[in-house]
Structure 1
Amino acid sequence: MSYPPQPGAPAPGPHPPYPQYPYPQQAPQPQAPQPQPPYQQQHRPHGQPYGQQPYPPQQFGTPPPPPRPRRTGRRIAFAVTAVFAVLVLGFAGLVWNNVQRQHAYAEANRPDQKWQELVDGMTRAMAAKDEEAFVKPFAAGPAKEKQRLVFRNLVKIPWQTAQWKLRSGGAVQGVLPVAFVHQVKGVDNRPIAETYAWTVTGEPGPGAVTGVGGDKDINGRTSAVSYYPGPWDVYEDLAVEARDHLVVVSEQKQSAELKRDVDLLQQAAQDDLAAWQQNKPPADGVRTGGQGFFVVLEKNRDVYNKLYAGEGRENDRLEAGVNMAVEAEDSDQAGRGKVLIGGSRIVMDTSLDRFTNPDRWQEGVTDIGRHEMAHALTATLTTDFDLGLVEKSAVRMWVVEGFADYLALRGKDAKARNDLAYKVRDARFTGALPPALASDFYSSDPKARSANYALSADALRWMAATYGEQKTLAFVAAHYGNPTGYPEQIRTATGLGPEQFEQSWAAHVRSTLPVKR
């Protein structure tokens, strides 16, 4: 979300084989012995003494019975079969073991595994603050020297998480997507990712990366949702000031201004967080308000428009600052069609009057700080990225910008009244709330846009004064979490339906301001 326009600014222009098991051979079955007739006592002739066998009568022509066959052949066959089975099983075991070793070798030498080893090495190097280990994947020359600067910038930031992950199994046509997954300590609710496109040559290994850029979209352009480039990619030497729930950075050349402004921005952060915690808007159990703020101060408009925005955002000269909500690394847990926001990145243009006016720069820095940080507070409650695109299913822009301006001037009632009167004096008031859609709200007409900001803030200021600030912030939080529930949310906060609320607020405006009808 952008900060309200500057006064007087012009209009914006393989698998292993299955194991083979030997089929068991059928062992020869021993034949059961034939039943023998019972032993019979031979008849003894009368007068023959016991123990003397009668001499059998001589029988001519009848051969004696054959000798009983021996079973030596069967024993040999069985032994041979057993030996053969042992050999087969042993051979199969050797084959299986060899297959397993080959599979393990292949796994250890897959290209994606080699790439993963490189990025894991960068994660370890970051934790150990080992510059040489960090730049190991990059080819000697410009690629490696550039990553030295990136490393020196990164180690200055207080990280909760900082690791590199592959975004694909390997390189495609010489391009390997790699994500820098990170979470700034005390600032981000969840880890977020900046996605790079590495240009690679040859096999995975040290020196294989010859170039680094942002991940590409289907048109070959740097994707706006790669969140590339970060300030550590842009600046040769990053200046960093860290406070409680706040990190402010700039180019080293702008460090004097950074040191001048950081205390004011810290106060703005404390003011917004206190207002939020004091009223404790209900959460859905998954999403909570932003816990801190990451701010980049930049006076070069081209760099301002390029930070975190791929090829760059369209220049809007009426914009003084912008908050960019960044999707969480685990956003897929939100469910189909939903998102999780991990945190925000704020960029402010310090070349403008709010930072340069010798008489009012302190007030200007504080106000823009409060405004953009209010966006960061509520961004993490977002369930859908379609902010202000479809009126009935997206967060209404008058709520988005109204809440940011409400916190910007919270506790400054006189200034808020004067600001409102000044900005609506030349605008025609129809009695309607400011536009819900972004295309209508961010008018190219500076006066119309300024009036939209002021009236949006006034609607929430009037709600807070009439029904209580706790109900007002609860309304804002509920609307971010479920934009389609707008009618019921208004009714819960005020007891009025949407139309009645709008009419009551319009009557208040007409009774207090000299507006055109």
Structure 2
Amino acid sequence: MSQEIPEAEPGNRGLKTAVAIVSSLAVLALTAVSVLAVQRHGDQGDSAGGASATEGSMVSLTQSDLSKLVEDRTSALQDKEEGDFLAAFTGEAKSQQRRLFRNLLKVPMETATFRTVQSTGRLESSFSGGAKAQLDIVFVHQISGVDVTPVEEPYRWTVEKKSAKAKPVVTRVTGKPGMKDLGTDPDTTIAYPAPWDLYPDLAVHRTGHVVLMTDASHRDQARAGAAQLEAAASRVLGAWRKNGPGDKPVSPGFAITVEPGGRRYSTLYGRGGQAKKEDGVTASMMTGQLNGAPYGGARIVMKSPSGRVGEHEMAHALMMPVTGKADVSGLGGTQNWVVEGFAEYLASRGADDRGGQSALRRAGFSGRLPDQAGFYAEDPVRAAANYELARLALTYMADRYGKEKTFAFVAAQYTAPHALDQHLLDATGKDERAFEAEWADYVRSTVK
């Protein structure tokens, strides 16, 4: 999400530029197959394919049936055979998947497969209808020049078999629901819908380090800004190559969707209507690895192809593959002042280029680094002040201790968030309190 800088006074319009907030998606255990099989004579087995009824007495969906549906879709996509890909879908799902198939062929992919998420099944029986299964699968894919490793987009298929002799068909396709922390949280899905799910006609434009996607109706707007986004990508990647530790698997490029706003903007990648007012967001893409790096890349969504917003979002996306498992725990993750400060440091065009110091003067300065829990404050003035404090923290570190140590500090914080004191000692020779004290003096001398 991005944060808008509030106006200083009514009638005195200040500079408004959005700043993104990485929305880390929680690591969720994917459960695969919840099968409801209908049994006409009341005999019940103990698994999706293990009924004890006589031949013809029951309609069942076996694991083999379900796996074949998924495997055939992979083969058809790789062979670019639309008819074979759509053969198992019916009704609205068929129209939806025709759009998906045609859109996916436009995206430069190194890997593109569908995979069933394996787990134990559950069999229930009744005395009417056919067999129905809720099947969770993942679309495992790697956008060329963007993802460090293959990433996953989970889908939930509704599979039905009308009779014992009928072939199973997919009647509904949705994203896999995300987990809610509170009942009042918005409904979300995990990394769904991607642009290839959402748009009737996906337009894709590739530059050296950017895969730019949008609806065909916005193709001209996106292409007009492509050079600006490519320049932003070159600056971000160039800064990392020059100053960053060479052993970190940062993103080599960026997948960006330009969506001017409205429901589509707030829906992309399953954000459930969040960030409607933001100009840019970055969504993490999970690898599905239980004992490895949780993220293989990221996806950026922007309302317009702005270089300044783009650089901020690219800084988030750059670091996503470096992120360690601890970061998924929210308050125990990478310090927000590091995440947003680094993004603002790379995106800034000079001192206070978006009016953050005005917000800081209005909000007041306690002499402390921004609090982790309250960083993204409801009060827009306080939130904007926190962004400026974060920018000043990374700017001060780079000016005082050097860019190489600063970039190494950021990488270390992403990789092992709980060791902040050690990371600061490595970069500055001071623990958090000592660094905070000298940084506070810098802030007071800068913001007057």
* TMscore range, shorter length: 0.7 to 0.9
Distance 2:400 2:310 in 1: 27
Give the match's secondary structure for 2:263: helix
Structure 1 residues 168 and 373: alpha-carbon distance in aligned structure 2, compared to 1, 3 A threshold = same
Q: Tell me, what secondary structure is at the counterpart of 1:183?
A: strand
Q: 2 CA distance for matches of 1:436 and 1:204?
A: 59
- Would you say the 8 A contact 1:136–1:207 is kept in 2? no
Deviation of residue 443 (structure 1)?
Answer: 1.2
Unmatched tracts of structure 2, length 5 or more: 8-15, 17-59, 124-131
* Stretch deviating more after TM superposition (154-163 or 242-251): 242-251
Listed as ranges, the matches of 1:101-140 within 5 Å are 111-139=62-90
CA 1:120 to 1:188, structure 2 compared with 1: closer, same or farther past 3 Å?
A: same
What is the TM-score with the length of structure 1 in the denominator? 0.69
SS in 1 for 2:255: strand
Deviations 1:23-80 (A, max 9, x none): xxxxxxxxxxxxxxxxxxxxxxxxxxxxxxxxxxxxxxxxxxxxxxxxxxxxxxxxxx
Shift of the 499–489 alpha-carbon distance from structure 1 to 2, 3 Å rule, reads same
1:143 aligns with 2:93: yes
Q: Is residue 343 of structure 2 the alignment partner of residue 343 of structure 1?
A: no
In structure 1, what is the Cα distance between the partners aligned to 2:435 and 2:89?
61
1:180 aligns with: 139
Kept in 2: contact 1:247–1:294 (CA 8 A)? yes
Return the TM-score normalized by structure 2: 0.79
Give how far 1:420 is off.
4.3
Q: Tell me the residue number matched to 2:401.
A: 467
1:238 match = 202
Is 2:230 the partner of 1:276?
no
Tell me the distance in 2 between the aligned counterparts of 1:128 and 1:153. Answer: 15
Please tell me whether residue 314 in structure 1 is matched to residue 274 in structure 2. Answer: yes
1:226 to 166, 170, 190: 190
Who is 1:394 aligned against?
333
- For each residue in 1:325-382, what CA deviation from the matched residue of structure 2 results, as whole angstroms up to 9, or x when unmatched? 12113x1132xxxx521111111133xxxx6xxxxxxxxx111000001001112111
CA distance in 2, matches of 1:245, 1:183: 15
Q: 1:115 touches 1:205 (CA, 8 Å); kept in 2?
A: no
Which of the two has greater helix per residue? 1
Alpha-carbon separation, structure 1, partners of 2:122 and 2:178 = 16
**Conserved? CA contact 1:387–1:396, under 8 Å:** no
Counterpart residue number, 1:442: 376
The sequence identity of aligned pairs, in percent, is 36
Q: Given the alignment of the two structures, is residue 213 of structure 1 paired with residue 174 of structure 2, yes or no?
A: yes
Structure showing greater relative contact order (alpha-carbon pairs closer than 8 Å, 6 or more residues apart):
2
The runs of 5 or more residues in structure 1 that have no matched partner are: 10-108, 356-364
User: Matched residues in 2 for 1:218 and 1:307: separation?
Assistant: 17
Cα distance between partner residues in 1 of 2:165 and 2:260: 40
Distance 1:277 1:315 in 2: 31
Superposed displacement of residue 282, structure 1: 5.4
When Rg is computed on C-alpha atoms for both structures, the one with the higher figure is 1
Amino acid in structure 1 at the alignment position of 2:382: A
Structure 1 position 119, deviation (Å): 1.9
Task: Give the RMSD, CA atoms, in angstroms.
Answer: 2.7
**SS at 2:281's partner residue?**
strand
Distance 1:166 1:314 in 2: 29
* Residue of structure 2 in register with 1:325 after alignment: 284
User: Is residue 251 of structure 2 the alignment partner of residue 297 of structure 1?
Assistant: no
Aligned residue for 2:369? Answer: 433
State the 1:115 CA deviation. Answer: 2.7
SS of 1:244's equivalent? coil
1:244: Cα distance to partner? 2.4
The aligned amino acid for 1:134 is F
Partner secondary structure for residue 396 of structure 2:
helix
Hey, what's the Cα distance between the residues in 2 that align with 1:346 and 1:487? 31
Aligned partner of 2:310 in structure 1 is 369
Letter paired with 1:160? E
SS at match of 1:304: helix
Q: 1:476 to 1:153 in 2, by over 3 A?
A: same
**Deviations, residues 93-113 of structure 1 (Å, cap 9, x unaligned):** xxxxxxxxxxxxxxxx98322
SS at match of 2:317: helix
Letter in 2 for 1:135: L
| Structure with more strand by fraction | 2
Q: CA-to-partner distance for each residue in 1:200-227, whole Å, 9 max, x for gaps? A: 1116976611111112468999974632
C-alpha distance in structure 1 between counterparts of 2:166 and 2:240, whole Å: 49
Q: Shift of the alpha carbon at 1:291? A: 1.9
- 1:196 is paired with a residue whose SS is strand
Q: For 1:229 and 1:385, locate their aligned partners in 2 and report how far apart those are by CA, in whole Å.
A: 26
**Post-superposition shift, 1:387?**
5.5
The residue correspondences of 1:15-30 to structure 2 (distance < 5 A) are: none
